[in-house]
A = this chain, B = another copy of it.
């Protein structure tokens, strides 16, 4: 998506350790006009009427999922992160390992809002190692629901999450795929398909 790539080039900051800071428009401060264009693009990439729910994870995925939901006309459900083991029978749980923060946490979603009837589009802001998306997939499978696809704002194409998911036959659509970044030069190269 040209608009997002241009914005990343203009306002993204490349830091040592393959860190891409996009907090001026994507995941701390939010440009809602950009979000809405991203939402429209997800709709274009996942046409048809199969999708019944959008599933995301707090916190950065929520706004993007909401923007997209306007064009899919389906509810958003966001998985909550929790640091305590949840023994509630009313929730599905998955364990997620965060490479960024070097820790593990559980994510939960209420069984009320994810059922075997659902066809789910997973949306998140970043895809790198795929840990968050894998956790969300586990929730979907626990519910007996169907995964229609995964929509990502920015994929780090040089990390393995995207290729592993696609290798499992899951449709992954990323609006921008970063092929490489150079912190010293401050340059970003996008994948061309």
Which A residues are within 8 Å of any B CB, using their own CB? 23-25, 28-33, 35-36, 58-59, 62-63, 65-67, 69-70, 73, 75-78, 80, 109-110, 112-113
Contacts and interface: CB of A to CB of B under 8 A. Distances in A.
B66 A80 contact: no
Q: Give chain A's interface secondary structure class.
A: mixed
Contact of A30 (B35, B76, B112): B76
Contacts of A28: 77-78, 80, 109-110, 113
B76 A36 contact: no
A80 B59 contact: yes
Contacts of A31: 75
Contacts of A59: 58-59, 62, 78, 80
Give the 4 A-B CB pairs with smallest separation, nearest first: A58-B59, A32-B69, A30-B76, A29-B113
A30 B77 contact: yes
A64 to B, nearest CB: 9
Contacts of A70: 32, 36
A66 B29 contact: no
Given A31-B75, A32-B75, A63-B65, 9 more contacts: A28-B110, A29-B76, A30-B62, A32-B69, A32-B76, A36-B70, A59-B62, A59-B78, A59-B80
A112 B31 CA distance: 14
Nearest to A62: B62
A35 B112 contact: no
A113 to B, nearest CB: 4
Contacts of A65: 30, 63
6 contacts: A29-B112, A29-B113, A30-B77, A30-B78, A58-B59, A63-B66
A111 B111 CA distance: 39
A29 B75 contact: yes
